[in-house]
Amino acid sequence: MSGTGVFKVLGFMTGTSLDGIDMAVLETDGEQRLTFGPWAERPMPDTVRAVLQATVKAALSWPRGTPEPEIFNEARKVITDYHFSSAQGFLAEQGLSFSDFDLLGVHGQTVLHERPKAGVPGRTVQLFDGQAFADMTGVRVVSDFRINDVAAGGEGAPLAPVYHRALVAQAVLGLPVVVVNLGGVANITVIDEAGDISAMDTGPANGLMDQWVQKHGRGHYDAGGAWAAHGTADPALVAAYLSHPYFSASAPKSLDRYDFTLAGVDGLGFEDGLATLCEFTLESLLLAIRMSGVAPKAVVLAGGGRQNAYLVNRLRTKLDLRTQLYLSEDLGWRGGAIEAEAFAYMAVRSLRSMPISFPATTGVPQPLTGGRLNIPSAR
């Protein structure tokens, strides 16, 4: 350990956008002690992405109660090897080695997430081979962070709120604060005036917009929201998206990236489609903030969507004038590293049997720890 009760951890995150891997070094006690080391983003090779895209397709048509699709095993090996090669390169650049770490915290690749409903338990799959990774690296690995929560009747997401609270406390922001993660799906963490946390997924963030760009053969995403900025949103189509029952459901609640489709904008031109999807992201986010019941003094944007300048500017015009809007970098946070840091932080909490999900963040009946510890096999 790096100090009394402090662990040096390498955290990993691969999101549903399948654009790459984030890695971040964090020294933490799983509470308020946060010391930040180097971090990096690495693009996902097309070969890895192709396997995962095929795996997601198989997962979406996987009937409950039947054996998992065969491709899952191939994907586990591919994603685990990708983590290992990415980490090797990152650590070599930083003059570090796996032996410098007490623990590795790995989210794994989400290929399916179904929220519980009408007496049917949720189902979530994050593919990764934690034991193989522990054996490859010689370091203890915590993975499978969502399984306990779902098994106990929780949504399984979002999990980062416990880390967001630690970041906000360190930044000494006036409460209440809303932290927004703009990934494939958007979610918010609400820290109220008492410092208590609640959370929910708010709707699509980058997911639908990225799919639209890819469908039209224009690359992987709309850089800076430049194409959306040249389009005109269709208010009727935005309203149609927002009529989905999810948006009237009470929190906590969670989404899969594929719970919404492009069908609602199929008749639009490229730029108008992007503008409409961007407005859907914006309006669903604002709806969730209103639903939270707080008037935030600050809203902090993290995740890849914070780089969509058009979306950020639209949000700025819509927020209450008394609410300060920050990009994560404005507070000295590493916007691209926050989720990797979060799973490093939660790995320590898991090791210490501390809760990572709570009734007001995932709907779990009581605060619950999570994560599966994998110990390297004797060599």
Q: Return binding residues.
A: 15-22
Residue 18 tokens read as 């399948």
DSSP 117-178: BTTBPPEEEEE--HHHHHHHHTS-EEE--SHHHHHTT------THHHHHHHHHHHTPPSSEE
The CA-atom distances, in angstroms, between 72 and each of 66, 79, 80, 147, 231 are: 13, 10, 12, 17, 39
Instruction: Report which secondary-structure segment, H or E, holds 274.
Output: helix 270-291
List the Cα angle 42/47/51 in 5-degree steps: 110
**Using CA atoms, how far apart are residues 97 and 363, in angstroms rounded to an integer?**
39
Question: Whole-angstrom Cα distance, residue 221 to residue 208?
Answer: 10
Residue positions in the annotated binding site for ATP?
Answer: 15-22
Nearest residue to 342 via CA among 80, 16, 87, 26: 26
> Which sign does the torsion angle of CA 35, 37, 41, 47 carry?
negative
CA distances from 83 to 36, 103, 133, 134 (A): 20, 15, 8, 12
Contacts of 92 (CB under 8 A, 6+ apart): none
Peptide bond into 176 cis (omega under 30): yes
Asked if residue 191 lies in contact with residue 273, where contact means CB atoms within 8 angstroms, the answer is no
